[in-house]
Amino acid sequence: MTDNQLNILNNFLSKFEKNLEILKQFETKSNFLNQIRQPRLSDLELIAVDLTAESFGIDFEPHLFSELPEAISSKIERSVYNRRRRKLFFVKERIRKALSEKLIGSENYFIVDSMPLEVCKLSRSSRVKICKEDYLTSPSKGYRASQKMNFYGYKLHAVCSSSGVFCDSELTSAAVHGIHYLKNIKNNFSSCVLLEDKAYLSDDYQLDLFTSNNIYQIGSPYGE
């Protein structure tokens, strides 16, 4: 093993241990899934591995297992890791929300925006089969106002605090209007100001947000 490979393994293990300590501040349990045998790598440790991999920019499973220190890789097989990781999504989401609330504190200014995620060029949209297994989650045609052009795929909506902490996000088909995203998340916010572009503005909905949750909307003059 080269010195560089050894450094990567040591750095991964060090960051993994730090992430695990942070996770333990939000979860007292180590395991969340119903399993016949207690796993050698706990569910909380698996989440720490997943977060550590993301921090290193590792999003390809074979790459991850080539970088994992033996102290971790010896506790779980790759196929089992992937299956358990998917099942733990809701636990990770719960921890993310708790961490977000702690970092945000008493902030009351938030920014909502979206970005296009193109699946393929619009000219190929009628032929491409990717992600079309389920109509409810399939991509669609949308409009990219900043470039004044149509695209085919999805739209990622997100809300972050004025200090840059992400509070909420949702992936929708490209055709979903920003107003619908606000309707989904309005009960997560109250007595605050939302800064947004015109895609999220509606006179009727502004009134609804104010009367029900005391939320003010301020639109950007630069459009979507």
Rounded Cα distance between 213 and 208, Å, is 8
pLDDT score at 35: 87
Residue 222 has pLDDT above 50, yes or no: no
Average the pLDDT over 188-215 and give the result.
74
User: pLDDT tens, 32-55?
Assistant: 999 888 999 999 999 999 999 999
pLDDT score at 3: 66
Instruction: Map out the domains of the chain with their CATH numbers.
Output: 3-102 (no CATH), 106-219 (3.30.420)
pLDDT score at 95: 93
Average the pLDDT over 24-29 and give the result.
93
The residue behind tokens 């241990």 is 17
Amino acid at position 79, single letter: S
pLDDT score at 134: 81
pLDDT score at 205: 64
Average the pLDDT over 20-36 and give the result.
93
CA 126 centroid distance within chain: 29
Would you say 121 and 130 are in contact if contact means Cβ atoms under 8 Å apart? no
Rounded Cα distance between 46 and 32, Å, is 11
Three-state SS for 88? coil
For the chain, give the percent of residues with pLDDT over 90. Answer: 42
User: pLDDT tens, 128-174?
Assistant: 888 888 877 899 999 887 778 899 999 999 999 988 999 899 999 99
Tokens of 131: 């992600």
Length, in residues, of the chain: 224
Tokens of 22: 């942070």
Residue 76 has pLDDT above 70, yes or no: yes
Instruction: Provide the mean pLDDT of the chain.
Output: 86
User: pLDDT tens, 91-112?
Assistant: 999 999 899 989 888 888 999 8
| Terminal-to-terminal C-alpha distance of the chain | 51
When pLDDT is cut at 50, 70 and 90, the band that residue 17 belongs to is very high
Rounded Cα distance between 126 and 109, Å, is 41
